[in-house]
Structure 1
């Protein structure tokens, strides 16, 4: 398995790309499943992003992106838009299950300009029961991020899921967070389904 070159892959914004590997923690509060509440922190515990309902927010509470699940979709397709928009012109990317029947989770991710969707721009493969996944660039073995569950006595007592994510150099970590929230949404239905 290879790592990507240092060139930036800014799907959401270059602001979220780093020339170094970025380790982040994504914490889902299990007691607030109805609003899909997550907090994203750096390794020092500083909040860098939040997910509230169907929005990914910056530290000031400004919506960076909106995540939407399509109501009628055989492969559980999700669409991600800039800011609070739901307009097709503001579509950044979409993600869907690779096939309808899956034992392990596999998602195909298509950037907005990839309208033919013959080859995915990114792939997500993992086991949700083990709370682990790997995100690949394109349809090959280049890893751009990896997630694993971190279990602590404190997180179990507080009713939280705690995911540790390593985002490789030059990869947009807001994009990676959005993919993990979608993965969680597909597997736990934590973000409400909305009409198209």
Structure 2
């Protein structure tokens, strides 16, 4: 920019919930808020705060049907997510910016089990080479809701409600949560066919069948 200053991130509006014990930073500390964040995903896969302010955009490219790009409100790519076909657990990989270098790997997400009746994903940070996930995604009491948890604990980081509303706890990297939701909502579109915006409004449980079909 001519001023030499980076554009400021839009600040989501406030809600009131108790904070998590320690800050959770994955994509960047600029995406931490001291208060709960509530976001909405619309039909065009734009992500807005409860006051309607555009926070993120999710895009795809015609020649890259298995990739999704999480961008900020100004259109800068924060994360690109790639679905790896022919993997037993339907793995997704998230890289910083538009890179595909392993040194820029942020996290991977895959089904917890090959066969499961409810959505459950294991999420590993890029430097985690072990078998214990850093985060988990678990389907709730209905197919249109799920929870994002810290590791194998019951510590709640965020919830997805009604297929398109995200409730994120204070001091949790909300850009990371949105990146995970991109994986969840695109799970039933893992074969690369169809429109991601339409897919995002389908049942969340589709992530099970979609990721399984790519095994």
Please, what TM-score do these two structures have when normalized by structure 1? 0.81
Once superposed, which parts of structure 1, at least 4 consecutive aligned residues long, lie more than 6 Å away? none
Q: Please identify which structure carries the higher strand content.
A: 1
Q: Once the 2 structures are TM-superposed, how far is the Cα of residue 3 of structure 1 from its aligned partner?
A: 6.0
Higher relative contact order (CA 8 A, sep 6+): 1
Aligned to 1:50: 57
Structure 1 residues 139 and 185: alpha-carbon distance in aligned structure 2, compared to 1, 3 A threshold: same
What 5-or-longer segments of structure 2 have no aligned partner? 1-17, 61-67, 194-215
Q: Distance in 1 between matches of 2:20 and 2:53?
A: 27
Matches within 5 A, 1:104-115: 104-115=118-129
Does the CA contact (< 8 Å) of 1:9 and 1:170 recur in 2? yes
Structure 1 residues 128 and 41: alpha-carbon distance in aligned structure 2, compared to 1, 3 A threshold: farther
Query: Residues 1-196 of structure 1: matches in 2 within 5 Å?
Result: 4-5=20-21, 7-27=22-42, 29=43, 37-53=44-60, 54-116=68-130, 118-126=131-139, 130-149=143-162, 163-189=164-190
Distance 2:119 2:192 in 1: 18
CA contact (8 A) 1:39 1:50 kept: yes
* TM-score computed with the length of structure 2 as normaliser: 0.74
Note the residue ranges of structure 1 that are not aligned, 5 or more in a row: 30-36, 150-161
Contact 2:140–2:147 (CA under 8 A) maintained in structure 1: no
State the secondary structure of the residue aligned to 1:180. Answer: helix
